[in-house]
């Protein structure tokens, strides 16, 4: 789930806008020069071009969302199906669920930790890969390889690595004399959280490094040269040149990472199942549990999904606004 | 929580009403569909022979991964001797409910599907199975079929489910380790205290990688399967008869938690007990690294490949034995269009041929009391032990409508209870028990 959200955020307008800005100054309006003369056929043509996408969006996005909204206001059980409207019971029940606030808190905590670490590591890697010349290609590949692995497969791999029964880590640590008792990677709330964060950083650092590298390469060498002639040192160059000019890329990465982390599911579903003691239940996992593990209440799960959707839309709108404000 | 209790009750009532309507509605649809004319509700049972129809139909059958070995053996044996062919689909344990639920919603259930027996009451009530009351009573040995399973699948005096594979929990112990520790390899623990002593004795060998015992400490279903019998064997119950009130703070239950707590504190548990979610809880014993632990009897053949396994009943506080009569029940789905053919499989499944020549030969427990003494079970004293335990009056198939939510779910209050009791401060059992009752009584 996190995977899809990591890749479906529309980056195209972003890129297009930036390109337009670089090429021809502040050429804001998108309407072409000939648009005024043949407006009707042109707009019809436009609709035709957009139609295939629109149909796909309608079938695979709008219709399912409407279905979820319908579920959220209905007494809809997994086995018995729709048993009629009951609004707003599901929303009331969902907001009173005993695990809702722990899940919200944990998801936010996880999101903040993941985003900070992941972006920090990715930026560091991007700078390293950018600077070093000799090992550049090998390094890039090595860092990117985990991104080629599905998140579920990666989680299973780490499940084996963390498992007390099959883990090669504990015997290795014991042989080195680092620990005298086996480390329990998933046994306590904190260790489970950090073990999962480690997996996610390993899995996604390469992807975000790539995004940031594109941003870095977009910064003209002239600016650096000018800064160096002015006598700026490395730290100053990084703080005054690289970071400000990299802002759009960082903002994009932040949006992707925040959205992806708020919707975290696979990794926790496979590694911890929300345990120990419900300490790692994320919001999406709560949705899953309501629907399939116990209550089997699709209506309740849909109500929570709708609430999450609204919250995410608001958050993304805020983020995009902040991003746009900065660019202007 | 208080404010939602009322809608909850209303919803439950509506659920029961709808389920009843659904069952009726589906049966009526069968005739009206214009498909097989023999499919209507009434004509169905009178026209069909007790053996059903074997005409080369392809039947679909779903089950979950823990019973893969038995399911494969049964399906192979059936396909080899019948015109009908069964296509088996196995789903990982954790995904099975979601899969069945999705199929039920879109009327895509297979002809036959098995269900963890603890979910059967709920699924039956929701109308996922077809009524097979008359067909079951047409079997000459109907009264000998395992009653725990049949009762779990009985709703409003109609029967929907037969036992597919019985899975019992028994105490497994490693005979080699028992010999090394100076314990009697022919005698497993007969009380909870003995179980603890045996585990500690094996721990005291201080063999690298070898531990006294193990349990799935983050796995509600494992706790249900292996610890409920300890309570039953002590002569107490885990729930009231309707499955709406939890008794898991009783003296016997507290004694069970205390024993495991001691084993945990003595570091006599195979590593990872606290985080074991159930995926690998049987692995340590199978590797020969665990001395004695409650274990599923269905894995006797598998475990015996690597370990010299001894079997005894799961003991209570002061002796006695009991087992959790678990496993899967199987029924014909509400969506099946080949009910007579599907019944042919079920009728064969109950036959001596399937029970003895397939299941018993594999070292499994038979689902018919009149076949308990058969040539295979007599050849292996361990299977005799398992069968004896299964027949013990203390053995049960627990019944509760909200079983999954209360016990098996990853966020179940039962999991909270025993984790607090074993790994926590141990002082919240009463309170946590009330949380279970709250879910059970919804």
The complex scores an ipTM of: 0.71
Q: How many CB atoms lie within 10 A of CB B370?
A: 13
Eight-state DSSP code of residue B320: E
Token representation of residue A249: 């890329």
pLDDT band at A120 (very low <50, low <70, confident <90, very high): very high
DSSP of B197-254: HHHHHHHTT--TT-BSB---TT-HHHHHHHHHHHHHHTT--SB-TTS-SB-TTSHHHH
- Cβ contacts of A283 within 8 Å, gap of 6 or more: A103, A104, A107, A262, A263, A304, A308
pLDDT band at A2 (very low <50, low <70, confident <90, very high): very low
pLDDT (average), residues A62-81: 90
CB contact under 8 A, B98 and A292: yes
pLDDT in the model for residue A36: 52
pLDDT, greater one: A8 or A273: A273
Helix (H, G, I), strand (E, B), or coil: what is residue B169?
Answer: strand
Eight-state DSSP code of residue A272: T
pLDDT in the model for residue B30: 34
User: Could you tell me which residues are beta bridge partners of residue B113?
Assistant: B62, B331
Eight-state DSSP code of residue B402: T
Residues in chain B within 8 Å Cβ distance of A78 = 97-98, 101-102, 104-105
- Cβ contacts of B201 within 8 Å, gap of 6 or more: B181, B182, B183, B212, B291
pLDDT band at A326 (very low <50, low <70, confident <90, very high): low
> CB pairs below 8 Å between A and B: how many?
111
Token representation of residue A62: 């709008």
Residues in chain A within 8 Å Cβ distance of B3 = 92, 96
ω before A276 within 30° of 0 (cis)? yes
Give the C-alpha distances (Å, rounded to integers) separating B41 from B28, B52, B129, B160, B340: 7, 15, 13, 14, 12
Helix (H, G, I), strand (E, B), or coil: what is residue B160?
Answer: coil
**Calpha distance B100→A15 (Å, rounded):** 45
Contact status of A191 with chain B (Cβ, < 8 Å): no
Characterize A161-184 residue by residue with b for buried, 16 or more Cβ atoms within 10 angstroms of its Cβ, and e for exposed: bbbbbebeebeeeeeeeeeeebbb
The residues in B 8-47 lying below 8 A from A, measured between CB atoms, are 11, 14-15, 18-19, 22
Label the pairing between strands B58-64 and B85-91.
parallel
pLDDT band at A38 (very low <50, low <70, confident <90, very high): low
- As to burial, measured by CB atoms within 10 angstroms (0-12 exposed, 13-18 middle, 19+ buried), residue B142 is middle
pLDDT in the model for residue A325: 60
The CATH code belonging to domain A104-328 is 1.10.3720.10
Q: Please compute, for residue B174, the number of CA atoms within 13 A of its CA located in the half-sphere on the CB side.
A: 27
* Dihedral (CA of B97, B99, B105, B109) sign: negative
pLDDT in the model for residue A158: 93
The answer to whether B354 and B339 are in contact (CB under 8 A) is no
Nearest to B404 by CA among B125, B188, B187, B203: B125
The answer to whether B327 and B162 are in contact (CB under 8 A) is no
CB contact under 8 A, A294 and B275: no
Mutation target among B23, B105, B410, B436 for the A interface, most CBs of A within 10 A? B410
Instruction: Show me where the domains of chain A are located.
Output: 104-328
pLDDT in the model for residue B58: 94
Contact status of B416 with chain A (Cβ, < 8 Å): yes
Q: Does residue A37 surpass a pLDDT of 60?
A: no
The answer to whether B63 and B85 are in contact (CB under 8 A) is no
**Calpha distance B270→B282 (Å, rounded):** 11
The residues in A 90-109 lying below 8 A from B, measured between CB atoms, are 92-93, 96, 98-99
Q: How many CB atoms lie within 10 A of CB A220?
A: 11
**Calpha distance A225→A231 (Å, rounded):** 10
Give the C-alpha distances (Å, rounded to integers) separating A58 from A52, A54, A62, B19, B331: 10, 6, 5, 34, 39
pLDDT, greater one: A128 or B109: B109
How close is the nearest chain A Cα to the Cα of B275, in Å?
5
What DSSP element (H or E) covers B26?
helix B2-32
The answer to whether B367 and B350 are in contact (CB under 8 A) is yes
The answer to whether B167 and B67 are in contact (CB under 8 A) is yes
pLDDT in the model for residue B129: 94
Contact status of A77 with chain B (Cβ, < 8 Å): yes
How close is the nearest chain A Cα to the Cα of B354, in Å?
31
What DSSP element (H or E) covers A258?
helix A243-262
pLDDT, tens digit (0-9, with 9 covering 90-100), for B241-278 = 888 999 999 999 999 999 999 999 999 999 888 888 88
Q: What is the pTM of this model?
A: 0.76
**Calpha distance B262→A97 (Å, rounded):** 34
Token representation of residue A109: 């905590």
pLDDT in the model for residue A131: 74
Delineate the domains of chain B, giving CATH numbers in brackets: 49-167+326-386 (3.40.190.10), 168-323+396-440 (3.40.190.10)
Widest CA span in chain B: 71
Contact status of B215 with chain A (Cβ, < 8 Å): no
Mutation target among A75, A99, A292, A298 for the B interface, most CBs of B within 10 A? A292
Give the C-alpha distances (Å, rounded to integers) separating B93 from B62, B115, B167, B392: 12, 10, 14, 28
Nearest to A255 by CA among A315, A201, A171, A193: A315
Helix (H, G, I), strand (E, B), or coil: what is residue B164?
Answer: strand
pLDDT (average), residues A193-204: 94
Characterize B190-206 residue by residue with b for buried, 16 or more Cβ atoms within 10 angstroms of its Cβ, and e for exposed: bbbebbbebbbbbbeee
Please list the ranges in chain B whose pLDDT falls under 70: 1-48
What DSSP element (H or E) covers B330?
strand B325-332
The answer to whether B272 and A164 are in contact (CB under 8 A) is yes
Q: Which pairs count as long-range contacts for A215-221, CB under 8 Å and 24+ apart, including other chains?
A: A215/A245, A215/A246, A215/A248, A215/A249, A215/A250, A216/A126, A216/A127, A216/A130, A216/A242, A216/A246, A216/A249, A217/A130, A218/A18, A218/A245, A218/A249, A219/A245, A219/A246
pLDDT, tens digit (0-9, with 9 covering 90-100), for B362-387 = 888 889 888 888 888 888 889 888 98
**Calpha distance A190→A114 (Å, rounded):** 14
pLDDT in the model for residue B236: 93
E strand spans, B120-203: 154-155, 158-159, 162-174
Q: Does residue A8 surpass a pLDDT of 70?
A: no
Nearest to B15 by CA among A52, A169, A79, A210: A79
Mutation target among A277, A283, A285, A302 for the B interface, most CBs of B within 10 A? A277
pLDDT band at A67 (very low <50, low <70, confident <90, very high): very high
The two counts, helices (H) then strands (E), for chain B are 20, 11
Nearest to B302 by CA among B128, B68, B38, B132: B68
CB contact under 8 A, A294 and B405: yes
Token representation of residue A257: 């990472």
């Amino acid at each position: 789930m996190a995977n899809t959200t990591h890749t479906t955020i529309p980056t195209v307008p972003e890129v297009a806008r930036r390109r337009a800005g670089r090429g021809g100054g502040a050429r804001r309006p998108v309407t072409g020069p000939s648009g005024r003369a043949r407006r009707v056929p042109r707009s019809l043509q436009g609709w035709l071009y957009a139609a295939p996408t629109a149909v796909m969006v309608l079938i695979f996005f709008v219709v399912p969302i409407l279905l979820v909204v319908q579920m959220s206001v209905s007494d809809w059980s997994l086995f018995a199906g729709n048993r009629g409207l009951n609004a707003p019971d599901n929303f009331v029940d969902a907001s009173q669920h005993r695990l809702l606030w722990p899940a919200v808190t944990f998801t936010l905590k996880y999101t903040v930790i993941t985003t900070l670490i992941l972006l920090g590591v990715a930026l560091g890697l991007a700078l390293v890969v950018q600077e070093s010349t000799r090992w550049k290609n090998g390094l890039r590949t090595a860092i990117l390889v985990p991104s080629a692995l599905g998140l579920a497969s990666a989680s299973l791999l780490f499940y084996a690595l963390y498992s007390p029964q099959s883990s090669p880590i504990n015997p290795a640590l014991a042989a080195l004399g680092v620990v005298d008792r086996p480390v329990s990677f998933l046994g306590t709330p904190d260790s489970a959280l950090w073990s999962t964060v480690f997996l996610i950083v390993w899995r996604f650092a390469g992807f975000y490094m790539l995004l940031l590298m594109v941003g870095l390469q977009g910064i003209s060498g002239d600016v650096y040269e000018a800064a160096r002639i002015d006598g700026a040192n490395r730290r100053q160059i990084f703080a005054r040149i690289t970071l400000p000019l990299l802002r759009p890329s960082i903002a994009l990465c932040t949006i992707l990472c925040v959205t992806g982390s708020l919707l975290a599911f696979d990794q926790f579903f496979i590694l911890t199942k929300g345990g120990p003691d419900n300490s790692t239940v994320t919001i999406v996992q709560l949705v899953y549990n309501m629907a399939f593990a116990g209550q089997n209440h699709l209506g309740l799960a849909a109500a929570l999904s709708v609430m999450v959707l609204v919250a995410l839309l608001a958050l993304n709108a805020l983020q995009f606004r902040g991003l746009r404000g900065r660019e202007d | 929580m208080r404010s939602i209790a009322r809608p909850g009750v209303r919803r439950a009532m509506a659920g029961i009403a709808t389920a009843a309507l659904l069952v009726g509605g589906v049966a009526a649809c069968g005739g009206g569909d214009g498909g097989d004319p023999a499919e209507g509700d009434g004509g169905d049972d009178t026209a069909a022979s007790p053996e059903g129809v074997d005409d080369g139909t392809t039947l679909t059958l779903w089950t979950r991964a823990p019973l893969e070995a038995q399911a494969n053996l049964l399906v192979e044996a059936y396909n080899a001797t019948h015109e009908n062919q069964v296509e088996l689909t196995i789903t990982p344990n954790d995904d099975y409910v979601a899969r069945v639920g999705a199929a039920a919603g879109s009327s895509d259930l297979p002809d036959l599907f098995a269900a963890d027996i603890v979910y059967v009451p709920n699924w039956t009530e929701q109308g996922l199975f077809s009524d097979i009351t008359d067909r079951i009573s047409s079997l000459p040995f109907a009264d000998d079929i395992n009653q725990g399973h049949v009762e779990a699948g009985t709703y409003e005096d109609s029967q929907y489910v037969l036992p597919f594979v019985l899975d019992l929990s028994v105490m497994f112990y490693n005979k080699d380790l028992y010999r090394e520790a100076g314990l009697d390899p022919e005698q497993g623990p007969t009380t909870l205290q003995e179980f603890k002593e045996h585990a500690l004795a094996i721990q005291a060998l201080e063999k690298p990688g070898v531990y006294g015992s193990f349990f799935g400490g983050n796995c509600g279903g494992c706790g249900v399967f292996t610890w409920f019998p300890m309570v039953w064997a002590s002569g107490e119950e885990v729930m009231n008869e309707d499955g709406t009130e939890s008794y898991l703070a009783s003296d016997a239950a507290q004694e069970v938690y205390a024993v495991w707590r001691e084993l945990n504190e003595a570091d006599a548990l195979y590593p990872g007990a606290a985080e074991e979610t159930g995926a690998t809880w049987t692995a340590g014993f199978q590797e020969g690294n665990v001395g004695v632990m409650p274990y599923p009897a269905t894995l006797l053949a598998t475990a015996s490949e690597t370990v010299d396994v001894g079997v005894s009943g799961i003991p209570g506080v002061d002796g006695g034995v009991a087992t959790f009569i678990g496993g899967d029940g199987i029924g014909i789905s509400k969506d099946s269009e080949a009910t007579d053919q599907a019944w042919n499989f079920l009728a064969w499944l109950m036959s001596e041929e399937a029970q003895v020549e397939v299941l018993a030969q594999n070292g499994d427990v038979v689902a018919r009391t009149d076949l308990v003494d058969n040539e295979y079970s007599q050849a292996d004293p361990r299977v005799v032990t398992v069968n004896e335990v299964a027949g013990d009056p203390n053995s049960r198939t627990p019944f509760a409508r909200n079983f999954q939510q209360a016990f098996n779910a990853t966020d179940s209050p039962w999991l909270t209870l025993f984790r607090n009791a074993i790994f926590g401060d141990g002082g919240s059992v009463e309170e946590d028990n009330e949380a279970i009752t709250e879910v059970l009584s919804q």
